[in-house]
Amino acid sequence: MGFLTFLFSAVLLLIWIISGGFITQSNVILTKYKGEDDFLKSAYWYSFAAAFITWFLVAVFIILIILAVVGVIGLFGSGVGEAGLAKGAVTGKAKTKGISWFTIIALIAAMILVAVTGVLSVYTAVYITKSPFFTGSDKADIPQLQKAYTNSIISASLCLGALGLLIIGFVTYFFVSRQRKKKADAAARKGSEIEVQKRELLKTAKEAELREKLQHQKELRDRITKASEDALVERISHNTAYPPPPVLTPAST
């Protein structure tokens, strides 16, 4: 995900820079016409606000990327990563890579700013077309207003397109993260089941070994008891077969 995250960020930054260039050109052109009527004046201020927000967003995004590269912040995620995920799958302890709260806030802020810039660019184009100076004049510098209108349309398209791309990337990230979490949980459950089976097998083996040892001790005691009984019976039989000699008493005179 590291390379894809960098590529995604670079594409968004490029889109914002191009959008900022177009809306800034519109604002520069409208500077000369903002005193003609209220419509062009409104278009000028809308384009100014859109240009300011776009370049502000670009600057903030560049700063965030620099801070993420030097390791000051975790811009796109936190956690132990794929190595930890694999290790967790082996040990039965799920370790997943999650997205940080800072990342969520940064993405939401970026989405809002991009949406605002796109809407302001749309308003710029709309108010240019409402101006009678744009639609009814035959002055030679009308192509400049046409260029401002075209630039504002391009800026709006890029901003709203970038917003759509950001939303798609955001949803895709969470979908992929959820799938990884499911796989990690499944691996953890499988690992836990294996550990339980191992413990049960070990317990069964110990119980069998204990039963075998008790049976062996019982057999040994039985053999000892039988041997003692056989020895006692043999002694009794021997004494019975050979009675003791009679006691002789002296004869009387």
**pLDDT(221) > 70:** yes
In a domain, 143, yes or no: yes
- How sure is the predictor about 86, in pLDDT bands with cuts at 50, 70 and 90? very low
Least confident of 35-39, 53-57, 118-122, 141-145: 141-145
Residues pairing with 240 in the sheet: none
Residue 10 has what pLDDT? 72
Alpha carbon distance 221, 67 (integer Å): 79
Residue 14 lies in a domain: yes
Asked if 53 contacts 116 with a C-beta cutoff of 8 angstroms, the reply is: yes
Residue 231 lies in a domain: no
Domain count of the chain?
1
Q: Is residue 127 part of a domain?
A: yes
Q: Which range marks the domain in which residue 73 is found?
A: 2-185
DSSP labels for 104-135? HHHHHHHHHHHHHHHHHHHHHHHHHHH-HHHH
Helix (H) or strand (E) holding 102: helix 101-130
Lowest-confidence range among 2-6, 39-43, 83-87, 205-209?
83-87
Q: What is the pTM of this model?
A: 0.58
CA distance 74 to 1: 14
Mean pLDDT of 109-128: 87
**Residue 194 burial (C-beta neighbours within 10 Å; 0-12, 13-18, 19+):** exposed
Burial of 81 by CB count in 10 Å (0-12 exposed, 13-18 middle, 19+ buried)? middle
pLDDT of amino acid 187:
82
User: What is residue 151's predicted lDDT score, i.e. its pLDDT?
Assistant: 94
Query: Which pLDDT score is estimated for 123?
Result: 94
215 in a structural domain: no
Other Cβ atoms within 10 Å of 115 Cβ, number = 16
Is 31 part of a structural domain of the chain? yes
Q: Confirm whether 81 is domain-assigned.
A: yes
Does a structural domain hold residue 92?
yes
Q: CA 142 to CA 147: how far, in whole Å?
A: 9
